[in-house]
């Protein structure tokens, strides 16, 4: 059997310790940086086409329960310059955002106490929230269907790659080297970390 070309070492694959997946994921485009806005818009396109992008033959299409919902950002007079800068950048990137002040703000959001609010920004599209856990599971199923290997490990102390030791805290060294590992080395790494995890559990 051909060893996997990509291996994901996961300390908590079942989400028992890590709790971030219990919170809803939020997609929003109201950023100041153009690159962030571009990534947000690309992510939104990906979520719209999720059933195709993460489809797995023979399985039900992924369902992350995406709910479109604009984000309402509020600011005082001190935030005015930053919010205006953000709005102009968003407008340049062709996002559908609106700024509200004074009477327009009260009319648009009558339930909101605007006594200490000078300005509000609201997105009309490309924002919403979704089930983070379901999205992670959809990615995992799709990865496994493509031959990507998931291995549960307790802790990576260092990696022995081509007779060179790379300690786990030197992240840049590891990341730049992992791309060069042969499939045989990956198979050895998977087997080694699996054994280490089992030994650690017995102790």
What is the arithmetic mean of pLDDT over 75-95?
93
**What is the pLDDT, as a whole number, of residue 179?**
38
| Domain's final residue, options 130, 162, 180 | 130
What is the arithmetic mean of pLDDT over 10-29?
77
Task: Measure the CA–CA gap between 73 and 86, rounded to whole angstroms.
Answer: 11
- Residue % of the chain over a pLDDT of 70: 70
- Evaluate whether residue 66 is within a structural domain: yes
Q: In which domain, by residue range, is 187 found?
A: 7-18+134-202
Confidence of residue 172 (pLDDT cuts 50, 70, 90): very low
The HSE-up count of residue 9 (CA atoms within 13 Å, CB side) is 19
Estimate the crossing angle of helix 80-92 against helix 34-48, to 10 degrees. Answer: 60
Length in residues, the chain: 203
In the three-class reduction of DSSP (H, G, I as helix; E, B as strand; rest coil), residue 125 is classed as coil
Confidence of residue 159 (pLDDT cuts 50, 70, 90): low
- Residue % of the chain over a pLDDT of 90: 45
Residue 40 neighbours by CB under 8 Å, 6+ apart: 27, 28, 29, 31, 126
Which tops the pLDDT comparison, 80 or 171? 80
The predicted-structure confidence for 94-128, as pLDDT tens digits, reads as follows: 999 999 998 899 999 999 998 889 999 999 988 99
Domain shared by 147 and 96, yes or no: no
Task: Measure the CA–CA gap between 63 and 66, rounded to whole angstroms.
Answer: 8
Query: What is the average pLDDT score of the chain?
Result: 78
Task: Give the end-to-end CA distance of the chain in Å, rounded to a whole number.
Answer: 32
Domain shared by 72 and 90, yes or no: yes
In the three-class reduction of DSSP (H, G, I as helix; E, B as strand; rest coil), residue 68 is classed as strand
| Domain's final residue, options 130, 154, 176 | 130
Domain shared by 146 and 66, yes or no: no
Task: Measure the CA–CA gap between 101 and 121, rounded to whole angstroms.
Answer: 9
Confidence of residue 177 (pLDDT cuts 50, 70, 90): very low
Find which of 17-26, 129-138, 145-154 is predicted with most confidence, using mean pLDDT.
129-138
**What is the pLDDT, as a whole number, of residue 33?**
92
Is the CB of residue 32 less than 8 Å from the CB of residue 92?
Answer: no
Q: What is the dihedral of CA 52, 137, 192, 2, to 10 degrees?
A: -30
Is the CB of residue 97 less than 8 Å from the CB of residue 87?
Answer: yes
């Amino acid at each position: 059997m051909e060893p996997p070309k990509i291996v994901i070492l996961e300390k908590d694959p079942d989400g028992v310790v890590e709790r971030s997946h219990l919170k809803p994921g939020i997609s929003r485009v109201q950023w100041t940086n153009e690159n962030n806005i571009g990534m947000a818009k690309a992510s939104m396109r990906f979520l719209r086409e999720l059933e195709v992008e993460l489809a797995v033959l023979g399985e039900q299409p992924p369902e992350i329960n995406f709910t479109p919902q604009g984000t309402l950002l509020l600011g005082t007079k001190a935030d005015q310059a930053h919010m205006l800068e953000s709005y102009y950048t968003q407008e340049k990137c062709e996002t559908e955002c609106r700024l509200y002040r004074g009477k327009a703000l009260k009319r648009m959001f009558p339930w909101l106490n605007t006594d200490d609010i000078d300005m509000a920004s609201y997105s009309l599209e490309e924002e919403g929230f979704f089930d983070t856990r379901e999205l992670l599971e959809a990615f995992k199923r799709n990865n496994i269907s493509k031959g990507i290997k998931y291995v549960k490990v307790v802790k990576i102390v260092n990696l022995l790659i081509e007779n060179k030791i790379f300690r786990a805290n030197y992240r840049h060294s590891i990341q730049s080297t992992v791309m060069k590992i042969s499939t045989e080395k990956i198979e050895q790494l998977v087997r080694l970390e699996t054994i280490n995890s089992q030994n650690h559990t017995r102790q």
